[in-house]
């Protein structure tokens, strides 16, 4: 089995989270609100254009334009299809499914 693994830049991840905060930018989920202290300062970060679809290059990545904080559930849904959904598309699906 061949797996491509691309390096993520931890500084750009930090810059993304400093800009947006730690709530999911799709559904609004807060790890801290749900789990308390253990969830503080935690959230996944999603590449809006996945590295695998870009050939793995992340040198010119803009942490504000190219990354977005998302919860684990939304992150999985973004990657559910072979070609990842765009955050705006998942937001629309989430809004349509909400009661």
Reading the chain (99 residues) residue by residue, the pLDDT tens digits are 444 444 578 999 999 999 999 999 999 999 999 999 999 999 999 999 877 655 555 568 899 999 999 999 999 999 999 889 999 999 999 999 977
Inter-residue long-range contacts of 64-67, CB under 8 Å, 24+ positions, other chains counted = 64/15, 64/16, 64/19, 64/20, 67/12, 67/13, 67/16
Q: Where are the domains of the chain?
A: 22-97
H/E element holding 46?
Answer: strand 44-47
| pLDDT for the residue numbered 4 | 42
What's the half-sphere exposure (Cβ side, CA atoms, 13 Å) at 88?
Answer: 1
């Amino acid at each position: 089995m061949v797996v491509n693994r691309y390096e993520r830049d931890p500084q750009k991840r930090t810059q993304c989270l400093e800009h947006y905060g730690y709530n999911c930018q799709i559904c609004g989920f807060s790890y801290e609100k749900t789990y308390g202290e253990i969830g503080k300062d935690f959230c996944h970060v999603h590449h809006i254009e996945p590295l695998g679809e870009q050939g793995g290059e992340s040198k010119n990545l803009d942490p504000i334009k190219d990354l977005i904080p998302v919860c684990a559930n939304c992150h999985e849904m973004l990657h559910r299809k072979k070609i990842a959904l765009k955050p705006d598309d998942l937001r629309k699906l989430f809004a349509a499914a909400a009661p």
